[in-house]
């Protein structure tokens, strides 16, 4: 995957949406999710942002489950 930084407001809002909804599903603080996606891994910049065009067209459940699956595959724990 290519590494990509947040380029616009739509991507920023999507990233926030992802973080908040993952936190809700896992029953943890959103800050913990952010740290897991940025400091414990690079999932935010090498998966979520580069795949924005595909991911943002999916359902909330699909997006959350998909990102959690990526976290599990990469051994990222919260």
**pLDDT reported for residue 2:** 76
Query: What pTM does this model have?
Result: 0.94
**pLDDT reported for residue 8:** 95
Ranges of H-type helices in the chain: 9-26, 30-38, 43, 52-55, 60-73
Structure tokens given for 61 = 């459940």
Q: What are the angstrom distances between the C-alpha of 21 and each of 1, 26, 55, 59, 68?
A: 23, 9, 14, 12, 11
Could you tell me which residues come within 8 angstroms of residue 65 by beta carbon, excluding any fewer than 6 positions away? Answer: none
Run means of pLDDT, 10 residues per run, the chain, 78 residues = 88 98 98 98 97 97 98 96
């Amino acid at each position: 995957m290519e590494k990509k930084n947040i380029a616009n407001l739509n991507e920023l809002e999507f990233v926030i949406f992802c973080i908040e909804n993952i936190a809700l599903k896992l029953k943890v603080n959103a800050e913990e999710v952010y740290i897991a996606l940025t400091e414990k891994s690079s999932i935010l910049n090498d998966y979520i942002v580069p795949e924005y065009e595909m991911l943002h067209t999916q359902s909330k459940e699909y997006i959350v489950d998909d990102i959690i699956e990526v976290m599990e595959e990469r051994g990222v724990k919260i």
